[in-house]
Structure 1
Amino acid sequence: MDIFTSNMFFGIFISLVAYEIGQILYKKTKLPIFNPLLIGIILVIVFLKVFNIDFETYNQGGQFINMFLGPATVILAVPLYKQLSLLKKNFIPIIIGITIGCLVSVLSVMILAKIFNLNNELIISLLPKSVTTPIGIEISNTLGGITGVTVLAVVITGITGAIIAPIVCKVFRITDPVARGIGIGTASHAVGTSKALEMGETEGAMSSLSIGIAGLITVVIAPICLNIVSKFF
């Protein structure tokens, strides 16, 4: 085991295997709770605990996965470009809807966190829960949050959104595909978008569009809201 774990590719190998198992489970069950990212995280943690492998050993190779977070963020511009005509046609309602969604997400976290007396480090870590992981990590790092908590919050938010999105749309009778896509993408980023794609092509396209815009808006409003709310609580 020591020979295996001492290899710099150990962390990458374990991460890829765990994620692939998650992919297989999700394809077999089609249940959002078996999200590949969540399953991969759980399997890696269990493996490290069972074989008593410390995080530093794993991260010798696992850290290289972070190299792809930057390019992944840039790639978010692709769906935005592909849906440019739809964005132009519905520009004002789309921007207003996403902006309000981002504000509600950020402010609700801060107010509830203050009510439950969480420290500032945890509050900052939870702020980017509704944006995609690469952007969420950058926001958390910039403001001084805990990356691990941010990733967990993002995953849980995405899975929760994917599970309840169809129910919410049905209960509140949201039938417009653009509105449904914008709501899902803004609230639950890429994981929610996978569900939006199952609901319809337009829903999936608008949800993909929302991921990038919501990320950009959150980058701007998160530190502003943090400063404003901190003055009153």
Structure 2
Amino acid sequence: MSDPATTMLWCGVTGLAYAGARRLQGKWGAHWYTLPVVSGTALLLSVFALGGTSYQHYAEATIWLQRLAGPAVVALAVPLYQQMPLWRRRAMPVLAAVLAACTAALASGWLLGRTLQLPGPLMLSLLPRSATMPMAMAAAGQVGGNAALAGIGVVITGVLGSSMVPILLRLIRCKGAEPTALALGLVAHAIGTAKAQQLVPQALAFAALAMGLMGALTVLALPWISRWM
């Protein structure tokens, strides 16, 4: 466990990196490379390189920030409650979309792993990439995967998904706020939900609901899938 001074230092550096990333996003616009998870991480890696700090040292110093990931996900229940009458009227289409998306995500991950002949632990780390970070890392660790690799897969999926979903929806002429938010939550979990807050804040509950259900269904399905690998 790091001492209080080191913890305060690296938590402060992380906060400054996030603030800097948000400033860049406001100045350069909403692009994949200006997402805080991308630009903020790049800023932190630059600090690591200049200071000769290892990731293990940083992770130990910022353990309290990591533990906030779970409460942050739970806090998304607030917009769900506020917009409950709206999404309850769409319950069946939403559930059907979640089931189809989860099946597609798990099946595509399994097929990709089989095609590349990945070892079992690596494949199990890849499968929950469409779940939000805390769920994916916990689920991967419990079935024999690598939690850190699962986290990397989640970030890559979130960045790519949040960038590509709006483009694909424009190509198929889908302009509705609710389908946009739902697709972002299903494909890109928390990063997509943040994107939905920018694009369609009036339908944020659909992104939050999709993210939560997608994560829960993935966590439930992963142990069953692991028995067949």
| Structure 2: runs of 5 or more not aligned | none
The one-letter amino acid of 2:11's match is: I
* Identity %, equivalent residues: 26
Partner of 2:63: 63
Segment of structure 1 superposing worse, 133-142 or 180-189? 133-142
The aligned residue for residue 145 of structure 1 is 145
2:180, 2:200 within 8 Å by CA — same for their partners in 1? no
Letter in 2 for 1:14: V
CA contact (8 A) 2:32 2:38 kept: no
Deviation digits for residues 3-24 of structure 1, max 9, x if unmatched?
Answer: x997332332222222222111
Q: CA deviation at 1:144?
A: 2.9
Partner of 1:165: 165
Farther-moved stretch of structure 1 (198-207 vs 217-226)? 198-207
Please state whether the residue corresponding to 2:174 is helix, strand or coil: coil
Kindly provide the amino acid, as one letter, of the partner of residue 130 in structure 1: S
The answer to whether the 8 Å contact 1:80/1:212 transfers is no
Counterpart of 2:185?
Answer: 185
176-185 or 90-99: bigger deviation: 176-185
1:1-233 correspondence runs (5 A): 7-30=6-29, 31-228=31-228, 230=229
Q: CA deviation at 1:95?
A: 0.5
The alignment yields a C-alpha RMSD, in angstroms, of: 2.3
Segment drifting more, 186-195 vs 100-109: 186-195
Give the drift of 1:205: 3.2
User: Structure 1 residue runs of 4+, over 4 Å off?
Assistant: none
Post-superposition offset of 1:68: 0.9
TM-score, normalising length from structure 2?
A: 0.87
1:119-160, Cα deviation, whole Å (9 max, x unpaired): 222222222222222222222222233233222222221221
How far, CA to CA, are the matches of 1:157 and 1:68 in structure 2? 21
Q: Tell me the CA shift for residue 227 of structure 1.
A: 2.8
1:79, 1:143 → 2: CA distance?
Answer: 32
